[in-house]
Amino acid sequence: MEPVIIGKIFSFIFTPWVAMAIIVLVVLKSSITLVPQNRAYVVERFGKFNTSLTAGLNFIVPFIDRIAYDKTLKEQAVDVPSQGAITRDNISLTVDGVLYLKVIDAYKASYGVEDYTFAVTQLAQTTMRSEIGKIELDRTFEERDTLNLAIVNSINEAALPWGVQVLRYEIKDINPPRSVLEAMERQMKAEREKRAVILESEGERQSAINVAEGQKQSKVLAAEADKAEQILGAEGEARAIELVAEAKANALRTIGEAAATVAGQKAVQLDLATKAIDAKYQIAKQSTIVLMDGKSSEASSTVAEAVAIVSAMNKSDAFSSHSISGKSE
C-alpha cells in the first residue's frame, strides 16, 4: 500500500497543472516589491534605468527588471573631518564640522555621482576653506552662522546635479595655533582690565559728581538760610526802630501836652536848672583843670544861676502863662 500511495503523490506533484501553479507563484512573488517608508528603489530593465519605486506596494517584471539601487530619503548627518584653513590675515586654523543632507532625487543620486556622501563631504571641506579665507581670525568666531549659511548655499549649487540637498552645516570646532590662543588670551585679559579700569573711573567720576552736587545743594541751602535769617533780622530791626520811634513820638507828645500847662512849665524850668547844675558837676568831675571865676565855683552861685535862668524863663513871653493859655486854646 505504501509504495502505491507514494507513487500517487509523486505523480500528482509532477503533473503539469501543479508545476504551472508553482511557476505562477514564483513569478508573482518576484514581481511584487514592497518599498519601506522614506526609501526609494531604482529599477533597471536590461541594464538601463526604467523607473524609481516609492514607498508602498510596487510591481516589476520578473527576470527582466531588477532593483539596481536602494536609496534612503531620510536626513543624514555626515561628519566632516578636520582640515586646515588659512584666514584672510594669514592665520592657520583647524576646522571640523557636521553636514546634514538629504536625497531628493534617487535617480540623480544613483547615476549623477559615484558616492554622493563622499562628494558632498569633499565639497564642504573645499567650500569651508574658501569661505574662511575671506574673513579675519576674529570674525571666524563671531560669524559662525554666516559661515554656515555661505557653505550651505555653495554646496547646494554644486550638488544640484547629484540629487542631494544640504539642509544645514554646523562648524563644531575652530582651533587656532597655540601661540595665537595665548595672544588672544592676553588680549582678552587686557580688554577685561581695560573695562575694569573704565568702570572704576566712571564710578569715581560719578561719586565725585554726587559729592559736588551734594556740596552745591548744601551751600545753596545754607545761603538761602542766611538770606532768610538776614531778611528776618532786618525786618526785626526795622520793626524795633519803628517801635522805638513810635515810643519816642508818644513820649514827646506826652511831654509837649504836659509842657502846655502852667505846672508843666514850672516842671520844665526845674528840670533845666537841675540839668545845668548837673552839667557843671560832670565837667568838674571829668576834667582835671576847670577855669572858672570865684563866684561861679561856689555852690550858692550855681544855684543862683539856675534860679536866674528859671526867673528869666518865667519873664519871657514864650513861657508866660498868657502865651501858654493862648496856645492851649
- Among 142, 91, 146, 100, residue whose Cα is nearest residue 124: 100
The C-alpha atoms of residue 265 and residue 90 are separated, in whole angstroms, by: 124
The C-alpha atoms of residue 169 and residue 147 are separated, in whole angstroms, by: 9
The pLDDT of residue 314: 57
Residue 194 β-bridge partners: none
The answer to whether 47 touches 66, Cβ cutoff 8 Å, is no
The answer to whether 100 touches 74, Cβ cutoff 8 Å, is no
| Each residue's pLDDT tens digit, 105-151 | 999 988 888 888 999 999 888 888 888 888 888 788 778 888 888 88
CA distances from 56 to 28, 89, 91, 104 (A): 16, 55, 54, 18
| Each residue's pLDDT tens digit, 291-311 | 555 555 454 555 556 556 556
Number of Cβ within a 10 Å radius of residue 302 = 18
The C-alpha atoms of residue 162 and residue 105 are separated, in whole angstroms, by: 8
Please determine, for residue 100, whether its predicted confidence score (pLDDT) is greater than 90: yes
CA distances from 236 to 230, 240, 243 (A): 10, 6, 10
> Residue ranges of the domains in the chain?
2-72, 76-176, 260-328
Would you place residue 274 in the very low, low, confident or very high pLDDT band (cuts 50, 70, 90)?
confident
Please determine, for residue 62, whether its predicted confidence score (pLDDT) is greater than 70: yes
- Amino acid of residue 140: T
The answer to whether 74 touches 101, Cβ cutoff 8 Å, is no
SS3 per residue for 245-312 = HHHHHHHHHHHHHHHCCHHHHHHHHHHHHHHHHHHHHHHHHHCCCCCCCCCCCCHHHHHHHHHHHHHH
pTM attached to this predicted model:
0.50
Please determine, for residue 236, whether its predicted confidence score (pLDDT) is greater than 80: yes
| Each residue's pLDDT tens digit, 283-293 | 666 655 555 55
The C-alpha atoms of residue 139 and residue 34 are separated, in whole angstroms, by: 51
The C-alpha atoms of residue 77 and residue 73 are separated, in whole angstroms, by: 12
Q: Which residue has 538761602 as its cell numbers?
A: 224
Would you place residue 322 in the very low, low, confident or very high pLDDT band (cuts 50, 70, 90)?
very low
pLDDT > 90 fraction of the chain, expressed in percent and rounded: 5
CATH of domain 76-176: 3.30.479.30
pLDDT > 70 fraction of the chain, expressed in percent and rounded: 73
Helix, strand, or coil here: 179? Answer: helix
The C-alpha atoms of residue 85 and residue 307 are separated, in whole angstroms, by: 135
C-alpha cell at position 67 = 532593483
The answer to whether 80 touches 124, Cβ cutoff 8 Å, is yes
Would you place residue 98 in the very low, low, confident or very high pLDDT band (cuts 50, 70, 90)?
very high
